[in-house]
């Protein structure tokens, strides 16, 4: 049996994100696929950061037109053809926005059971 390492529930969610590639300054658009209190799973096109590197992710606030930045650390990555999935540990993020996004993810999760 595999031991679960996660401390917090992970919620499936789909929120747009933007990440700026450091070297080329190219703005990549992708999405958050899963979210928890400590991290998120991203899906991005052709972005292959180093493990343990810090990245700035701009995540779209639910039901709003604004993006807010978070500082994260790449903890794992996997190529899925022309796209990359990666696990990001949240290092810095506005607490109010974080709770707003978690509440959105939780409400979306609850709707699956009603």
Domain spans, the chain: 11-111
Choosing among 2.40.10.220, 1.10.375.10, 3.40.50.150, 3.90.110.10, the CATH entry for 11-111 is 2.40.10.220
Element at 112 (helix H, strand E) = none
What is the mean pLDDT of the segment spanning 89-96? 94
What percent of the chain lies above the pLDDT cut of 90? 54
Task: Quickly list DSSP for 30-85.
Answer: EEEEEE-SSEEEEEEES--PPTT-EEEEEEEPTTSS-EEEEEEEEEEEEE-SSEEE
| pTM (2 d.p.) | 0.85
Phi, psi (deg, nearest 5) at residue 49? -75, 160
> Which pLDDT tens digit goes with each residue over 38-90?
999 999 988 888 899 999 999 999 889 999 999 999 999 999 888 999 999 99
């Amino acid at each position: 049996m595999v031991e679960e390492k996660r401390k917090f529930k992970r919620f499936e969610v789909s929120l747009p994100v933007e990440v700026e590639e450091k070297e080329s300054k190219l703005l990549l658009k992708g999405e958050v696929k899963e979210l928890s209190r400590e991290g998120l799973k991203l899906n991005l096109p052709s972005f292959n950061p180093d493990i343990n590197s810090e990245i700035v992710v701009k995540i779209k606030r639910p039901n709003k037109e604004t993006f807010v930045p978070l500082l994260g650390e790449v903890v794992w990555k996997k190529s899925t053809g022309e796209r990359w999935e990666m696990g990001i540990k949240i290092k810095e993020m506005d607490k109010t926005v974080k709770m707003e996004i978690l509440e959105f993810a939780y409400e979306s999760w609850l709707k699956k059971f009603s």
